[in-house]
Amino acid sequence: MKEYRTITQIAGPLVFVEKTEPVGYGELVNIVLYDGSIKRGQVLDTSNELVVVQVFETTAGIGKDSGIRFTGETIKMPVGRDMLGRILSGGGKPIDGGPEIVPEKRLDITGAAINPYARGSPNDFIQTGISTIDGTNTLVRGQKLPIFSGAGLPHNQIALQIARQAKVPGSKEAFAVVFAAMGITKEEANYFMEDFERTGALERAVVFLNLADDPAVERIITPRLALTTAEYLAFDLGMHVLVILTDMTNYCEALRQIGAAREEVPGRRGYPGYMYTDLAGIYERAGIVKGKKGSITQFPILTMPGDDITHPIPDLTGYITEGQIVVSRELHRKGIYPPINVLPSLSRLMNLGIGKGHTREDHKKVSDQLYAAYAEGNDLRGLVAIVGKDALSERDRMFLEFADLFENRFVRQGYNEDRTIEETLDLGWTLLSTLPVEQLVRIDRDLISKYHPKFRQAAKAEG
Amino acid sequence: MTKGGVLKRIAGPVVTAVGIEAHMYDVVKVGKEELMGEVIKIQGENIIIQVYEDTSGIRPGEPVTNTGLSLAVELGPGLLTSIYDGIQRPLSVLVDKMGDFIQRGVSAPGLDHSKKWDFRPLVKEGDQVGPGSILGEVQETNIVHRILVPPNVKGGTVRSVKAGSFSVDDVICTLDDGTTLTMMQKWPVRVPRPVLEKMNPTIPLITGQRILDGLFPIAKGGTAAIPGPFGSGKTVTQQQLAKWSDAEIVVYIGCGERGNEMTEVLTEFPELEDPKTGKPLMERTVLIANTSNMPVAAREASVYTGITIAEYFRDMGYDVSLMADSTSRWAEAMREISSRLEEMPGEEGYPAYLAARLSEFYERAGRVKTLSGKMGSVSVIGAVSPPGGDFSEPVTQNTLRIVKVFWALDAKLSQRRHFPAINWLNSYSLYLGSLQDWYDREVSPEWNSLRSWAMEILQKEAELQEIVQLVGSDALPEAEQITIEVARMIREIFLQQNAYDAVDTFCDMKKQYAMMKAIRQYSDLAYAAQNAGVTPQQILSVKSKNELPQIKFIKDYVPALEKIQKDMDAEFNALRSAA
């Protein structure tokens, strides 16, 4: 393989190489340092005169004397069955002291888009055991549902609880977890690893760790390696894969860093104009393919800078993903776990996975009614702050109390509490029964007479 | 090769070639794999090309050839029920050719060239035909596909015309100057198809959605924008429109949207029934799906592909509605390509020509007299996804300057599960005046005043709510407590509509009128009772009105509604006589 020593400029993570043979766009590049060690990079811009290489590791040690080898192929990842249970670096190398991965296949890490026509419709209900998700923001297989959180909030616990408890009721199909950490601290990583080990989840997991002190640019490929692995497990081996990506904010920072180094015209808040397309290239790799057994469900986690949901990172994410789970600082301060605020949370695929044949016929309407009543009660809190509780009408007072009850009974649950969907819905009914029946305008009479605790008891008494 | 050149530079979806002669928007084949691209800039020797497929691995020095044609779509029988990507490649054919994932370097014609269609001529030898004239018909689905003389053919006297079963490449008609015509025509997507005359829109596009038809109607041939922050129900609203609007042809462009949602559309549409014909909805639909992770240049083209297909059906004399979800993703594609061209950015990094492109696109909507003298229309409903829900951003602002209807989706409403989450205070329709006659004639002469009354109550409620926020609802004067209650009824009974309920998902104008009238009846009775000295508590606790919301879910609602109205009369009579 030809080696070039024509580096003319090194700026941030970018290396500029002159006068090469034709080099392919996106090609994998090895950079050989004076001590013989090798760093990896990728071609970002290519012409006969100049090639721009983005280095995935720190550029420390790279100089004009370094050799550049173009490998002639785009970045591929060796994947194999024995990856399960392994811990790899953010660049895909084993760091658990175990042997190298025995590749059964080498796959392009960019991944091709699933043809929309070949996609299967996601409609298998996933029970996470968390009421605010199962009841009001239901997750289905093949969905990508991010957790929007903030610094210092328990999003990691929530992600772990989901990873631990998630199941399709009544199904015993093979599943796996692919966990990709981008720029999280060693401490956070340990927290995840310990939980995986304690619960035995590690055996079914592939872990990619790019820690806070690992090169930021490596974060660009970490999620792609993780998703390539997930695609192999799902579509080649037929497993149902849950992918947890944390923290996407760090990924976007790395993207901005490269954009700045390339002196690109920045978009909003300095993030590159192609960030939407770039993020879509990650998030859209969730789904189901018709006629194939497996599925990829994504749980990206991101911390909203300044808890600002309109920040470009959550904003663009929300436009690609199928909803979001919003973790609230206010609920967290009230000591409620999991502090999921259902009002701004949403699952766009919920209606595909609930109702008769999936969960229960009353699911949609109970969920809507809970939402509406909680929203109304929550609005009234603002009013109470001004006029005091006594000035409220009786109806308003009931809704106000409902909001408190909703947070304390429905939202609040234990870290290890795994509620079935029936428990969640019945709990919803119990809460709704504190309101007069005629206030339940979103539920039709048939369902009320079938599920409302008052009528159920009456039916029992008669029976 | 005179037309051949080589690649000089590759940086993502934008590449530079030298050694070819090219015109702007010529389609070129790039690299050994012959990826499809389009010339977007000419700079001395350098020809800058946007490539519709992934460019990984392409090297400088690979060949580039110019086809000399601009990006065009194939128009003819076979369009309906098709699902295309942004450059009119049928997605089902792509699955057959390259599997479940989109690979590159595969071309596929937009129409099936082997399929035979039964052609019935409507002209005979010796007839004069001109551009846009109807030559004959093909029963494509339950829709009759009219075969037209292409607008760029001069026309003349028909020398021969054949009936029978033909593919789209077979000659069906010859003119005296030797011109041969087939059932297919090609049209460059960036050029609007010509019409005889643009007309004023005077007929509403009935959508079955109460807040739209009732309060903020769009005319056939009109333009509307649905801006909404994510999670405010934009996509559901658009899909409802695609399903239920009374256009004869629906073109749905999923531009840079979610794969799973596209799948939902792809699986749902074929199963849905057209409420008018009982046939699958898909039979009148063309879908264009270019999801967010498919190449960005094809996303840029998808909007043009869609509107050209819509115009083609309009030229047959059909009412077409086109949904573009979302034009923001389209604008972002423009921005991305513009920044790769290192163009001087305008506002927020969007290219300076953003406003011009948007207005050119919306201007292709309209109710027209076609070249053959028929009436047809293209209504364009564009979704806008303002970042952070901020309506002051360039795409929303430039869109609002053009469109006539604005359906303001509101995240706050959707959080309260008020669906469709269209804010009744911020939305508007500039077609109300021109549609008034139609409502008088087709619904009821009362309707227009009923509509104004409802808007007035809602407006009043908004003002009163501010007071309520400060002092609580009990402190309001009696009459205004009734206003608040009536407004609540309008909101919860009339405006809220459940897209997932089999009955409520579509509500015709007759039912809308009946529902609004019943609310009005309660209102009139309530004020009358209050004047007669009945207390607000009594008025508000009238039992029969609690049954009104259920009307939405009942198919044959008339008896139930009449009973409620009767009960309401009786209850108020009793209250008045007691007072």
A174 touches chain B (CB under 8 A): no
Question: Among A345, A396, A343, which Cα is nearest to A128's?
Answer: A345
Q: Do the Cβ atoms of A113 and B101 come within 8 Å?
A: yes
Residue B515 in tokens:
């529902």
| Count of structural domains within chain B | 4
Chain A contacts of B101, Cβ < 8 Å? 111-115, 118
In a domain, B224, yes or no: yes
Q: Average pLDDT over chain B, rounded to whole? A: 91
Quote the DSSP letter at residue B292.
T
Write the pLDDT tens digit of every residue in B517-541.
999 999 999 999 999 999 988 998 8
Q: Is residue B416 domain-shared with residue B275, that is, in the same domain?
A: yes
Residues 113-172 of A with CB under 8 A from B: 113-122, 142-144
Question: How far is it, in rounded angstroms, from Cα A128 to Cα A416?
Answer: 11
A47 vs B9, B335, B342: nearest CB: B9
pLDDT of res. B145: 96
Q: Is residue B49 domain-shared with residue B134, that is, in the same domain?
A: no
Mean pLDDT in residue range A9-37: 90
Q: Do the Cβ atoms of A344 and B56 come within 8 Å?
A: no
Chain A contacts of B103, Cβ < 8 Å? 112
Residue B354 pLDDT level (bands cut at 50, 70, 90)? very high
Q: How far apart are the first and last CA of chain A?
A: 84
Closest Cα in chain A, distance from residue B381 (Å): 19
* Length, in residues, of chain A: 463
Token pair 């002190």: residue: A213
Structural domain ending residue among the three candidates B431, B458, B480: B431
In a domain, B126, yes or no: yes
Write the pLDDT tens digit of every residue in A156-190.
999 989 988 888 888 888 889 999 999 999 998 99
Dihedral of the alpha carbons of B119, B124, B126, B128, in degrees to the nearest 10: -70
A284 vs B55, B259, B335: nearest CB: B259
Mutate to test the interface with B, among A277, A308, A402 (most CBs of B within 10 A): A277
The secondary element (H helix, E strand) that includes residue B251 is strand B249-257
In a domain, B80, yes or no: no
Q: Do the Cβ atoms of A265 and B339 come within 8 Å?
A: yes
A319 vs B92, B94, B385: nearest CB: B385
pLDDT of res. A359: 93
Residue B2 pLDDT level (bands cut at 50, 70, 90)? very low
Q: Is residue B57 domain-shared with residue B138, that is, in the same domain?
A: no
Q: Is residue B399 domain-shared with residue B321, that is, in the same domain?
A: yes
Closest residue in A to B344 (Cα) is: A265
Question: Among B537, B507, B508, B543, which Cα is nearest to B522's?
Answer: B543
With vertex at residue B108, the alpha carbon angle to CA B105 and CA B110, rounded to the nearest 5 degrees, is: 140
Q: Do the Cβ atoms of B469 and A344 come within 8 Å?
A: no
Residues β-bridged to residue A301: A147, A246
Mutate to test the interface with B, among A319, A364, A378, A443 (most CBs of B within 10 A): A319
Q: Is residue B407 domain-shared with residue B480, that is, in the same domain?
A: no
Q: Which segments within A305-404 are labelled E, that is strand? A: 323-327, 340-347
φ, ψ for residue A102, nearest 5 deg: -85, 110
**Domain harbouring B12, CATH code:** 2.40.30.20
**Domain harbouring B525, CATH code:** 1.10.1140.10
In a domain, B412, yes or no: yes
Mean pLDDT in residue range B488-508: 91
B260 vs A22, A45, A142: nearest CB: A142
Question: How far is it, in rounded angstroms, from Cα A25 to Cα B571?
Answer: 78
Question: Among B244, B218, B269, which Cα is nearest to B80's?
Answer: B269
Q: Is residue B307 domain-shared with residue B377, that is, in the same domain?
A: yes
Question: How far is it, in rounded angstroms, from Cα B272 to Cα A177?
Answer: 37
In a domain, B526, yes or no: yes
Residue B416 in tokens:
């309260």
SS3 A282: helix
Residue A432 in tokens:
């709704």
Q: Do the Cβ atoms of B387 and A315 come within 8 Å?
A: yes
Q: Is residue B280 domain-shared with residue B427, that is, in the same domain?
A: yes
**Domain harbouring B393, CATH code:** 3.40.50.300
Is the Cβ–Cβ distance between A122 and A347 less than 8 Å?
no
Closest Cα in chain A, distance from residue B550 (Å): 7
pLDDT of res. B437: 94
Write the pLDDT tens digit of every residue in B505-514.
999 999 999 9
Structural domain ending residue among the three candidates B151, B183, B215: B183
Type of residue numbered B59 = R
CB atoms within 10 A of CB B367: 23
Mutate to test the interface with A, among B46, B97, B293 (most CBs of A within 10 A): B293
Write the pLDDT tens digit of every residue in A393-414.
888 899 999 999 999 999 999 9
Q: Do the Cβ atoms of B91 and A116 come within 8 Å?
A: yes
Q: Do the Cβ atoms of A285 and B415 come within 8 Å?
A: no
Domain that holds residue B39: 5-70
B387 touches chain A (CB under 8 A): yes
Write the pLDDT tens digit of every residue in A48-84.
889 999 998 888 889 999 999 999 888 899 999 999 9
A46 touches chain B (CB under 8 A): yes
Q: Long-range CB contacts (< 8 A, 24+ apart) of A409-412? A: A410/A131, A410/A132, A410/A135, A410/A370, A411/A131, A411/A132, A411/A331, A411/A336, A411/A338, A411/A339, A411/A340, A411/A342, A412/A336, A412/A337
Closest Cα in chain B, distance from residue A373 (Å): 8
| Residue A287 zone, left/alpha/beta (φ > 0; ψ -120 to 50; rest) | left
B11 vs A44, A111, A445: nearest CB: A44
B95 vs A113, A115, A444: nearest CB: A115
Write the pLDDT tens digit of every residue in A323-363.
999 999 999 999 999 999 999 998 989 988 999 989 999 99
**Domain harbouring B131, CATH code:** 2.40.50.100
Q: Do the Cβ atoms of B57 and A323 come within 8 Å?
A: no
Mutate to test the interface with A, among B412, B417, B470 (most CBs of A within 10 A): B417
| Statement: residue B395 has pLDDT above 90 | yes
| Statement: residue B230 has pLDDT above 70 | no
Tell me which of A170 and B149 has the higher pLDDT.
B149
CB-based contacts of A139, cutoff 8 Å, min separation 6: A125, A126, A128, A133, A145, A166, A297, A347, A349, A353
Mean pLDDT in residue range B357-372: 95
Chain B contacts of A312, Cβ < 8 Å? 387
Q: Is residue B292 domain-shared with residue B424, that is, in the same domain?
A: yes
A118 vs B10, B100, B469: nearest CB: B100
Q: Is residue B424 domain-shared with residue B453, that is, in the same domain?
A: no
Mean pLDDT in residue range A192-208: 90
Q: Is residue B363 domain-shared with residue B227, that is, in the same domain?
A: yes
Tell me which of A441 and A303 has the higher pLDDT.
A303
Quote the DSSP letter at residue A234.
I
Chain A contacts of B389, Cβ < 8 Å? 310
pLDDT of res. A249: 96
Residue B260 in tokens:
């799973």
Q: Do the Cβ atoms of A320 and B292 come within 8 Å?
A: yes
Q: Is residue B275 domain-shared with residue B418, that is, in the same domain?
A: yes
- pTM exceeding 0.90: no
Closest residue in A to B418 (Cα) is: A372
Residues 249-268 of B with CB under 8 A from A: 254, 256, 258-264, 266-267
In a domain, B103, yes or no: no
In a domain, B83, yes or no: no
In a domain, B87, yes or no: no
B263 vs A45, A119, A368: nearest CB: A119
Residue B117 pLDDT level (bands cut at 50, 70, 90)? very high
Closest residue in B to A318 (Cα) is: B230
Write the pLDDT tens digit of every residue in B12-46.
889 999 999 889 999 999 999 999 999 999 999 99
Chain A contacts of B54, Cβ < 8 Å? 110, 112
B231 vs A323, A349, A364: nearest CB: A323
Q: Is residue B251 domain-shared with residue B312, that is, in the same domain?
A: yes
B473 touches chain A (CB under 8 A): yes
Closest residue in B to A376 (Cα) is: B416
Structural domain ending residue among the three candidates B431, B455, B475: B431
Question: How far is it, in rounded angstroms, from Cα B87 to Cα B94?
Answer: 12
Write the pLDDT tens digit of every residue in B187-215.
999 999 999 999 999 999 999 999 999 99
